[in-house]
Chain A
Amino acid sequence: EPEVTQTPSHQVTQMGQEVILRCVPISNHLYFYWYRQILGQKVEFLVSFYNNEISEKSEIFDDRFSVERPDGSNFTLKIRSTKLEDSAMYFCASSLDRDSGANVLTFGAGSRLTVL
Chain B
Amino acid sequence: AQKVTQAQTEISVVEKEDVTLDCVYETRDTTYYLFWYKQPPSGELVFLIRRNSFDEQNEISGRYSWNFQKSTSSFNFTITASQVVDSAVYFCALSGYTGRRALTFGSGTRLQVQP
**A residues neighboring B (CB under 8 Å):** 31, 33, 35, 41-45, 48, 55-56, 58, 89, 91, 93, 98, 101, 103-110
B residues within 8 A CB of A91? Answer: 45
Q: List which B72-115 residues lie within 8 A (CB) of chain A.
A: 91, 93, 95, 97, 100-108
Task: Please tell me the size bucket of the interface on B.
Answer: 20 to 34
How distant is the Cα of A43 from the Cα of B93 in the complex, in angstroms?
Answer: 10
A42: chain B residues at CB < 8 Å are 91, 105-108
Residue of B35, B44, B95, B106 near A110 (CB, 8 A) is: B44
**A101 B97 Cβ-Cβ under 8 A:** yes
Q: What is the CA–CA distance of A72 and B107 in the complex, to the nearest angstrom?
A: 34
Q: Is the CB of B107 within 8 A of A45?
A: no
Taking a contact as CB atoms under 8 Å apart, the answer to whether A110 and B43 are in contact is: yes
Q: Is B52 an interface residue (CB 8 A)?
A: yes
Interface majority SS on A: helix, strand, loop or mixed? Answer: strand
**Which residues in window 12-67 of B have CB below 8 A to A?**
33, 35, 37, 42-47, 50, 52
Query: Does B105 contact A48, Cβ atoms closer than 8 Å?
Result: no
Extra A-B contacts (19), CB below 8 Å, given A45-B102, A107-B46, A108-B44? A33-B102, A35-B103, A42-B106, A42-B107, A43-B45, A43-B91, A43-B105, A44-B105, A45-B104, A48-B102, A89-B43, A93-B45, A101-B33, A101-B52, A103-B101, A106-B47, A107-B44, A107-B47, A110-B43
A105 near B103: Cβ-Cβ < 8 Å: yes
